[in-house]
Structure formats: C-alpha cells, structure tokens
Amino acid sequence: MPMFLWLDPQGQVLDLGPTLARVLGCDAVGTRFDDHFVLRRLRLRAPEVPVPDGTVAPPKMSFDRGALRLHLDLRGHPGVGLRGASVALGLGGEDGVLLNLTFGIHMSEAVREFGLTEADFAASDLAIELLYLGEANAAVLGELGEMTARLELARRSAVVQSLTDPLTGLANRRAFDAALGEEIDAQAHGGAPFAVAHVDLDYFEEVNDTLGHPAGDHVLKTVARRLVQALRKGDLVARTGGDEFLLLLRGLSDRERLLRLGERLIEDIEAPCDFRGTPCRVSASIGLETSQGYDPMTTDALLAAADRALYAAKRSGRGRAVPAVDSDDAE
C-alpha cells in the first residue's frame, strides 16, 4: 500500500506510504490531515447538516463508522484529486483510521506532476493498467488523427492531379470546363462578361518529327510558361490535349483588345526556343470569342464559336488570331 495514510483519532498523521510521502513532498508524520488534504466528498450514513446560514456543512472525518469511501484534493496541487477508502482501527476507531488512496482519473496528471513510475504503485493497483490504457488510447487517437490528415492530403493531391495536365502543370480540360461553367453561371446572375481563346500550335508536328518527342515536350512546356506569363493573374490557361490550349479571359469583352492580346500571344509563342542547342520554331493560330450575344449561353456554343474562329485562322495562313465574328463573316 504505497499510498496508505494512518491517522490518529484527532487527524494527526502517524505514518504514510512512500509514494504518498513523495507526492506530499515532505515528512508528513506529525502533521495534520487538513494540512495536506481537502475533503471534497465523503459517503456518510447520516444526512448532511445545514449550518445556520443555510449552506451545507463540509464533510468531516469520522473514525467510528467502519469502511468509508472518500474523495480528496491536494492542497498544494488543486488539479490533482485522490480517491480511496478508510477503515477505522480498533474499537470505535480508538487506534485511528487507515486510508488507502489512489489517483483515479487524475492518474496521468499525477504521473507527470510528481514523476511517478510503476515502482510507486502496488502490484494489485489497477491505476497502472488505467494509465497504460489512457496512453494507448492517446496513441491510437494520435495515429488516427495522423492517418486522417494523410488521407485528406492524399485526397486533395488526387483532386489536384485530376485537374492538372501532368506535362505542363496547367489546368486540364476537366478543370477548364468547370471554370467555364462557373463563369457562365456568374454572368447569368449579373457577373461581368468574359472571353475564351482556342490556341493551336503551328508547325509543332515538324518539331516532333525532326527532333523527337523530348523536343516537343520542351516546346509545350515553354509555350505553357509564356502563356501564363502573358496573361493576368485571374485568367486561366489549360492544355486540353496535344498542342492545343484553351484560355479563359475573365472580364475581357472588348473585341479590339481581345484581338491585340491574341496577336501579342502569337509573338510570344514565336520567340526563339532552343532544345539542346537546336532551334524549335513554332507559331500559333488562335480563335477568339466573347461571351456577349448568347441567349442562352452554353459551354458548347461558346467553344464551338472559338473553334470556328481557330479553323478560320488556319485557313487564312496560320500564325493569326481571328475573332469569331470575323470567321462567321468569312463563311
């Protein structure tokens, strides 16, 4: 019983266990019970007695009632509680009372507070098993938390991968369609008009045929970087397959500005691009369309107009940007 406490009939400490002495931090023999403990609850047979001011008097130790269960607080450590049982010694408690204490639910706090080890507890004390269970539970909860975090990170990574072109790091067709649908819905509810551009590289097949696919991949990544650098932060660049790109140009609806932007993009794409010392010369044809004039506006209708403009640019000699309205007039 490393947590025993032996009191005389007046509540003076006659002896105590080594663990309890370590917890109290002093030689408590000869001191009073009340110097170290606050009796919080005591299971008494007699009813609680109100004091004159109407409150209930705190419980008092009594040594003539046989075995009693009690709950204590440590005066020097209010956050650590004890529980235990008391047994009266001798006839009518003439030899005092013996208390056998344990920390109960405050076991973890006590172990940390007082640096206790397994040697500080009786072999029959279930406190150690409870401590192990608590630590195991904390470990399991911690592992579950880490696993949940890893799964969430994997989920987010999978979502990003499903919306990203693996070669260029741009958005893919799925991401572009979702963004375009959101932009169409926003305009239907009073949002600003916008534009789309369909970009197709000219002479790209010649690069692949003469220099190989590594050179083609280099060109695609270079073009992707130049498109992103040429556009605003709020615009979206997507690679939608092969040597084709789609651009979502938010807030841009002026056809003259759109045409100038298309011409500037072609100049950027035509800038020198070398692969291992060999020049890779490509250009681009671009079909342009704004979101104005559609009733109702749909993704298919908007992209079909940009496609027609792109083919018109191809037919007119490549390396050109053609607005959809001009392609319609040409037809």
- Cis peptide, bond prior to residue 296, ω within 30 of zero: yes
Q: What span, in angstroms and rounded, lies between the C-alpha atoms of 306 and 296?
A: 17
Q: What span, in angstroms and rounded, lies between the C-alpha atoms of 187 and 266?
A: 28
Collapsing DSSP to helix, strand or coil, 126 comes out as: coil
Tokens of 149: 């975090």
Q: What span, in angstroms and rounded, lies between the C-alpha atoms of 294 and 195?
A: 12
Helices (H) and strands (E) in the chain, counts: 9, 13
Question: 277-315: buried (b, 16+ CB within 10 Å) or exposed (e) per residue?
Answer: eeebebebbbbbbbbeeeeebeeeebbebbbbbbbbbbe
Q: Active-site residue 243, yes or no? A: yes
Instruction: Determine which helix (DSSP H) or strand (DSSP E) holds 192, and give its type and residue range.
Output: none
Question: What DSSP string runs through 236-304?
Answer: EEEEEETTEEEEEEET---HHHHHHHHHHHHHHHHS--EETTEE---EEEEEEEESTT-SS--HHHHHH
Q: Catalytic one among 34, 177, 243, 274? A: 243
Are the C-beta atoms of 264 and 230 separated by less than 8 Å? yes
Q: What are phi and psi of 153, to 5 degrees?
A: -65, -40
Catalytically annotated residues: 243
